[in-house]
A and B are shown apart, each in its own frame.
Chain A
């Protein structure tokens, strides 16, 4: 059974940093493109970033470009999202997603940016 388990969320002050992790089981992360998608409370889905299966292509939403970095560690079968210079508007539930047609999603890890 495929499982994606996000972790690393929490409460952080504006300007602070967090690193989110997405550990995969039953699923070889390096074989698929992977994405981070967030959802602010009561709001719609907001795509954040993606990395290609080969790992040589990374993409970011304009709202996070220059602040967030997506990466993966194939030896740990884990996807990461390094988030720096966090803002209140980054507050959301962060999901990782991937697969042939992004059919696999985790349950999300909450990030709250507040003083």
Chain B
């Protein structure tokens, strides 16, 4: 059972915005950085956001991350069909001394 909870799915029309929540606790999100990963069908995960809100080079500004307390949020604006993928949050858990991934959210572009 994952320690980071995400909604199973979100959807929106092309050009619209979606947000994905990631709920954790003080031992993970509350005191450690959050990363967000995108996994397109049949491919390896890719880092979209690291250290709560930073984007690696090459990741478009349509993707943004934020954090408040023990929850984090990934935002995707200007939704494109190519954004259809599974999205995961992740954070180090200080109590477990282990990294934990969220349950994953499937984004569908209507």
Q: Which residues of A does B touch, CB under 8 Å?
A: 35, 37, 44-47, 50, 59-62, 95, 97, 101-103, 105-108
Contact B44 A47 (CB under 8 A): no
Closest Cβ of chain A: how far from B48's Cβ, in Å? Answer: 10
- A62 touches which one: B35, B98, B99, B102 (CB < 8 A)? B98
Closest 3 pairs between A and B when the two form their complex, measured CB to CB: A101-B50, A44-B104, A105-B44
Contact call B51/A101, Cβ cutoff below 8 A: yes
Q: From DSSP, what is the main secondary structure of chain B's interface residues? A: strand
For B99, give its contact among A47, A106, A107 (CB under 8 Å).
Answer: A47
Tally of B interface residues using CB under 8 Å: 24
Q: Which residues of A contact B98 (CB under 8 A)?
A: 47, 59-62
B37 touches A45 (CB 8 A): yes
Question: Is B101 a contact of A44 with CB atoms below 8 Å?
Answer: yes
Q: Which of A35, A46, A106 contacts B44 (CB 8 A)?
A: A106
Interface residues of B in 21-59 (CB under 8 A from A): 35, 37, 39, 44-47, 50-51, 54, 56
The answer on a CB contact under 8 Å between A45 and B46 is no
Give the interface centre of A35, A61, A105, A106 by most chain B CB atoms within 10 Å: A105
Q: List 11 A-B contacts (CB under 8 A).
A: A44-B86, A44-B88, A45-B88, A62-B96, A62-B98, A101-B54, A102-B35, A103-B56, A105-B44, A105-B46, A108-B44
